[in-house]
Amino acid sequence: MDFGFTEAQTAIVELARKLFAERATPAALKAIEAKEDRFDATLWKELASLGLLGTAIPESEGGGGHGLLELCALMQEAGGAALPLPLWATLALGALPIAKFGTSEQKARLLSAVAKGDAVLTAGLVEAASEDPLRPATTAKADGNAWILHGTKTCVPAARIATRILVAAKTTKDALGAFLVDPKGAGVNLAAQVTTSGETQYEVTLDGARVAKEDVLDAERGAEILGWLVPRATIALVATELGIVDRVLKMTASYTTSRQQFDRPIATFQAVAQRAADAFIDVESIRVACWQAAWKLSEDLPVTTEVDVAKFFASEAGHRVVSAAQHLHGGMGFDLDYPLHRYYLQSKQHELTLGSASVHLARIGAELARGG
User: For the segment 150-168, what is each residue's pLDDT rounded down to a tens digit?
Assistant: 999 999 999 999 999 999 9
CB distance 80 to 243 below 8 Å? yes
Is residue 240 domain-resident?
A: yes
Within this chain, do residues 111 and 155 fall inside the same structural domain, yes or no? no
Within this chain, do residues 229 and 213 fall inside the same structural domain, yes or no? no
Within this chain, do residues 206 and 230 fall inside the same structural domain, yes or no? no
Last residue of a domain, one of 203, 220, 237: 220
Is residue 48 domain-resident?
A: yes
- Helices (DSSP H) in the chain: which residue ranges? 7-23, 26-33, 41-49, 68-80, 87, 96-101, 104-106, 112-116, 222-258, 270-298, 306-329, 340-352, 357-369
The pLDDT of residue 85 is: 96
Q: What is the CA angle 173-178-181, rounded to 5?
A: 120
Taking residues 142-155, what's their average pLDDT? 96
Is residue 2 domain-resident?
A: no
Number of domains, the chain:
3
Tell me if residue 113 falls in helix, strand or coil.
helix
The pLDDT of residue 3 is: 67
Q: pLDDT, tens digit, for every residue of 68-106? A: 999 999 999 999 999 999 999 999 999 999 999 999 999
Within this chain, do residues 83 and 96 fall inside the same structural domain, yes or no? yes
- Return all residues near 278 (Cβ < 8 A) that are at least 6 apart: 320, 324
Within this chain, do residues 56 and 142 fall inside the same structural domain, yes or no? no
Is residue 1 domain-resident?
A: no
Taking residues 206-228, what's their average pLDDT? 96
CATH number of domain containing 106: 1.10.540.10
Within this chain, do residues 268 and 295 fall inside the same structural domain, yes or no? yes
Within this chain, do residues 201 and 256 fall inside the same structural domain, yes or no? no
**In terms of Cα–Cα distance, which of 275, 266, 269 is closest to 321?**
275
pLDDT at 333 over 90: no
Within this chain, do residues 296 and 327 fall inside the same structural domain, yes or no? yes
Q: Which residue has the higher pLDDT, 36 or 303?
A: 303
Last residue of a domain, one of 175, 203, 220: 220
pLDDT at 1 over 60: no
pLDDT at 251 over 60: yes
Give, for 2, the enclosing helix (H) or strand (E): none
Domain that holds residue 85: 7-118
Within this chain, do residues 246 and 338 fall inside the same structural domain, yes or no? yes
CB distance 117 to 44 below 8 Å? yes
CA–centroid distance for 273 within its chain: 32
CATH number of domain containing 291: 1.20.140.10
The pLDDT of residue 172 is: 85
Residue 160 CB coordination number (10 Å): 18
Last residue of a domain, one of 220, 238, 260: 220
Q: pLDDT, tens digit, for every residue of 233-247? A: 999 999 999 999 999
Residue 266's pLDDT band, with cuts at 50, 70 and 90, is confident
Q: pLDDT, tens digit, for every residue of 104-137? A: 999 999 999 999 999 999 999 999 988 889 999 9
| DSSP code of residue 109 | I
Q: pLDDT, tens digit, for every residue of 272-314? A: 999 999 999 999 999 999 999 999 999 999 998 999 999 999 9
Alpha-carbon torsion 12, 13, 16, 22, what sign? negative
pLDDT at 149 over 90: yes
Residue 189 CB coordination number (10 Å): 13
For a pLDDT cut of 70, what percent of the chain falls above it?
A: 99
The pLDDT of residue 372 is: 60
Within this chain, do residues 106 and 15 fall inside the same structural domain, yes or no? yes
pLDDT at 174 over 90: no
Is residue 281 domain-resident?
A: yes
Within this chain, do residues 176 and 283 fall inside the same structural domain, yes or no? no
pTM: 0.96
Residue 29's pLDDT band, with cuts at 50, 70 and 90, is very high
CATH number of domain containing 144: 2.40.110.10
Distances (CA, A) of 265 to 68, 269, 324, 331, 332: 41, 8, 17, 17, 16
The pLDDT of residue 292 is: 96
Is residue 46 domain-resident?
A: yes
CB distance 239 to 294 below 8 Å? yes
Is residue 359 domain-resident?
A: yes
Within this chain, do residues 243 and 329 fall inside the same structural domain, yes or no? yes
DSSP 7-51: HHHHHHHHHHHHHHHHH--HHHHHHHHTSTT---HHHHHHHHHTT
pLDDT at 341 over 90: yes
Tell me if residue 197 falls in helix, strand or coil.
coil
